[in-house]
Amino acid sequence: MSPVTGPGIRAFFDEATNTVSYLVWDRATMRGAVIDPVLDWDNRSGEADLKSAQAILDAAKAEGVAIDWVLETHVHADHLTASPWIKRQTGARIGIGEGVKKVQTIFRPVFGLEDMLPDGGDFDHLFRDGERFRIGSLDVEVMHTPGHTPACIAYRILPPQSEPDGVSDIFVGDTLFMHDYGTARCDFPGGDARTLYRSVRRLLDLPPETRLWMCHDYKAPGRDSFAWESTVAQQRAQNPHVKDGKTEEEFVAFRTQRDATLSAPALLLPSIQVNVRAGRFPKAEANGVRYLKVPVTPKRPDAALS
C-alpha cells in the first residue's frame, strides 16, 4: 500500500461571523497548524468564549495532531482571533505577514494602542513574500496578497518532492471568496482595488487544479449551503468579479463603486484593536476589568459631546 500524501485538512465554520478556520497537518509526522481561529465574541454583552477554538483542539487531539503554528492570513475586521489561547494550550507560534507593521501604524493612533509592541512584536513570526517554512514535513510557501489589507498573505502547501506535479493547497484568506460569489472589499485603510486584482491574478496564474481554501462564505444567490473549497480553474471560469476576460480597469471600477455602498463590519472596532496585537486584549484596569475602545466621530462639527 502506498503512503498517503498531501496534508490533512479539517474546516470549522463559524456561522456567526461566516468565518472558516482550519486544522492542517502533515500525515507523516502528525505535526500541524491552525489557520484563522475564531474567538466567540458577543458584542452586545462583551462576553468572550472559546467553544470554537476548543472544537479545533479537540479535533487535533482526536486525530493525534500536535500544533506547532497558529497562522493568521491577515488582521481580521470581522472576528476576534483565538490565537493567543491556542498558543497557551499548545506552545504554538503565532505567524502573520510582515505587512502587519503597516496595519499597526495605521491603527495605533486610531485606538491609542500605546501598549502595542513595535514592529509586530506581539506576533512570534512575520512572514515575508516567498518565504518557506514547514508544518512537519510539509513545505509551505508564503504569498503576499495585499489589496483587501496590506498584511494579507496566503499559505501555499506545496506537493511533496516525490510528486512534483502534485496539487497545491492554498489558504487564501480574504483575497478571494467562492467562485460563485466574488472578492472582498478594498476600502479599509491601506486597502486598494488595483492591488487586490493583481494579487488575485497571481493566484489564478497557478495550475488550474490548485485547490483554494476560503476564509469566509456568505452563500451566493441560489446556493443553499455554505462552501469553502474552490480551484483555480473554477475561479477563472466562474468568479463574477475576476474570471478570465475581466480587466483590471473593470474590476477597479466595480470594486470602488461596490465598496462605497458597504457598511462597516459589525465587529470591526473590537476586532482590529485586538487582532492587531495578535489577539491580546488591553491590560485590566484598577477594577480588574479589561476595556476595548470605541472612537467617537461626530457627524456635525457643532455636535455637543462634552
CB 108 within 8 A of CB 187: no
Q: What is the mean pLDDT of residues 274-301?
A: 91
Of the spans 162-176, 234-248, 287-301, which averages the highest pLDDT? 234-248
HSE (side-chain half, CA atoms, 13 Å) at 101:
9
The pLDDT assigned to 305 comes to: 63
Q: What is the mean pLDDT of the chain?
A: 95
Q: pTM of the prediction?
A: 0.95
Percent of the chain with pLDDT over 70: 97
Q: DSSP letters along 209-272, please?
A: T-EEE-SB----TT--S---EEEHHHHHHH-TTTSTT--HHHHHHHHHHHHTTPPPPTTHHHHH
Residue 297 in grid coordinates = 466621530
What is the average pLDDT across 201-218?
98
The pLDDT score that the predictor gives to residue 165 is 80
- Stretch 74-97: mean pLDDT, rounded? 98
As beta bridge partners, residue 229 has 213
Q: What is the pLDDT of residues 25-71, one digit of tens each?
A: 999 999 999 999 999 999 999 999 999 999 999 999 999 999 999 99
User: What average pLDDT score do residues 69-78 get?
Assistant: 97
pLDDT tens digits, residue range 5-31? 689 999 999 999 999 999 999 999 999
Cell numbers 504569498: residue? 143
